Amino acid sequence: MRGNPLKNERHSNGCSRRSFFGCAGGALTASALSWSFAGEMSPPNSTATQPGRAPEAGQSPLIWGNLLHLSYNMWRDRLVEQNTPVLKATTYQPYLRCDDKLWEELTKRMADVGMNMVVIDMGDGVQYQSHPEIAVQNAWSVERLRKELARLRKLGLEPIPKLNFSATHDAWLGDYSRQVSTPPYYKVGEDLIAEVVRLFDKPRFFHLGYDEETAGYQSEFAYTVVRQHELWWHDFEFFVKQVEQHGVRPWIWSDYVWRHGEEFLKQMPKSVLQSNWYYGETFPDAKGYVRWYDELDQHGYDQVPTGSNWSSPKNFGLLVEYCQKAIAPSRLKGFLQTPWLPTLEEFRQKHFEAIDQVAVAMAACAKETK
């Protein structure tokens, strides 16, 4: 199995992002599908009024989303001594860590404040019919998942699947995480994406993760693998193709652009929805992470800027304020909050604070548009 290290690569506020765990915080071919960005299908059963700049004709309302973990096996493959509960939780465990009651309360709260999307980090938390060997103990059955998806839609929350195929965040793949870029690896990726698309009834988006794949981010793993150069792009293109062939739009974290800017802007298809992430309070920041919101916009990429309350309760509001000005309305698809915490009772307060911070930002946007 593979897990996440204490990152030794730092964000501008001194924390290295999710893996900021340890702080308080080949060219691609053109898309095979023809995307009409301005005319994306509206999310199903979403009735909440969405604040922010009024969408242009044919556009969907702004996304106000939150990431929730069904599975939390996205990081370390070995136990490393840590002094906080959340850092200890980043070590792989062979059982599901998701409190049903808290999950229901969080999603209800999201709906109550007017949010309209939940990105579900699924990992090994589902008993996939195509690959049941991946599931941990007490993983949800596909029937249980379908029932939950129906409940979420009834609340007005659009459920979006996430399977992270970054070699830094694929502990959930079990033995397959040690077969990266081999035929069995490609086969399991193809099978899982196809099954999840069916389970979600062809969602608008499919989040592939694909972030932080460097040696530094895996410095405390027992098993480390990093794809580089044309192999990184080859595998990325493979996963994009698997999603797009089902008529679904791929979505990724954009941090590969930080170290490979020219290459990224040349080879990354416009069909892939981008989420640059930044969790600090300084806009723009000294190290230049924030500037990529501007750069991606100037190069024509659709974005869902991503913030977090991991290191600052002020981040999400500041992020929304900055990106509303920096990104063209036609390319700003919404915002995503990412608490990066297990869905467990001991983290209840931080989860609810994350939702409340989105509510405050939504209210500020609504006030600006009046």
Residue 168: which residues within 8 A CB-CB, separation 6 or more? Answer: 2, 4, 19, 211, 212, 213, 214, 217, 218
Mean of pLDDT values over 325-334: 98
Q: What are the start-end ranges of the H helices in the chain? A: 85-89, 100-112, 142-155, 183-199, 229-244, 256-259, 261-267, 291-298, 315-326, 348-369
Residue 39 in any domain: the answer is no
Strand pairing partners for 323?
Answer: none
CB 338, CB 18: distance < 8 Å = yes
Is residue 208 situated within a structural domain?
yes
For the four alpha carbons of 349, 334, 241 and 269, in that order, the dihedral sign comes to negative
Q: Is residue 111 over pLDDT 80?
A: yes
183-199 vs 142-155: helix crossing angle, rounded to 10: 50
Pick from 11-20, 104-113, 203-212: least confident? 11-20
Q: Distance between CA atoms of 197 and 243, rounded to whole angstroms? A: 8
Pick the more confident residue, 95 or 85. 95
198 pLDDT tier (thresholds 50, 70, 90)? very high
**Does 45 reside within a domain?**
no
Whether the Cβ atoms of residue 28 and residue 269 lie closer than 8 Å to each other = yes
Distance CA 260, CA 109 (A): 39
Instruction: Give every CB contact of residue 263 below 8 A, 6+ residues apart in sequence.
Output: none
| Total number of domains constituting the chain | 1
CA pair distance 109, 107, nearest whole angstrom: 5
pLDDT confidence band for 5 (50 / 70 / 90): very low
Burial (CB < 10 A; 0-12, 13-18, 19+), residue 317, is: buried
Pick the range with the lowest mean pLDDT from 32-36, 289-293, 334-338, 358-362: 32-36
Mean pLDDT of 322-350: 98
Show the domain range for 142.
56-369
- Does 24 fall in a domain? no
Q: What is the pLDDT of residues 250-303, one digit of tens each?
A: 999 999 999 999 999 999 999 999 999 999 999 999 899 999 999 999 999 999
User: Looking at the domain assignment, is residue 77 inside a domain?
Assistant: yes
Structure confidence at residue 178 (pLDDT)? 97
Question: Could you tell me the pTM of the whole model?
Answer: 0.88
Residue 204 is predicted with a pLDDT of 98
Q: What is the mean pLDDT of the chain?
A: 89
Output phi, psi for 68, to 5 deg.
-120, 140
- Per-residue buried b or exposed e for 67-82, using 16+ beta carbons within 10 Å of the residue's own CB: bbbbbbbbbbbeebeb
Statement: residue 36 has pLDDT above 60 = no
> For the residues 299-320, what does the mean pLDDT come to?
98
The CATH number covering residue 217 comes to 3.20.20.80
Sheet of 63-69: strand order equals: 273-275, 249-253, 205-207, 158-162, 117-121, 63-69, 334-337, 306-307
- Please check the confidence at residue 138 and state whether its pLDDT lies above 90: yes
Q: Which of 214, 264, 216 is nearest to 236 (CA)?
A: 264
d(CA 197, CA 205): 9
Confidence (pLDDT) at 65: 99
Asked which of 51-55, 126-130, 218-222 is least confident by mean pLDDT, the reply is 51-55
* 121 domain residue, yes or no: yes
What counts of helices (H) and strands (E) characterise the chain? Answer: 10, 8
- Cα 290 to its chain centre, rounded Å, is 18
What pLDDT is recorded for position 42?
55
Residue 31 counted as domain residue: no
Mean pLDDT confidence for 225-242? 98
Looking only at the bridges linking them, the beta strands covering 158-162 and 273-275 are unpaired
The pLDDT of residue 81 is 86
Please determine, for residue 35, whether its predicted confidence score (pLDDT) is greater than 70: no
Strand partners, 250: 206
Asked if the structure places residue 134 within a domain, the reply is yes
Confidence at residue 87, expressed as pLDDT on a 0 to 100 scale: 84
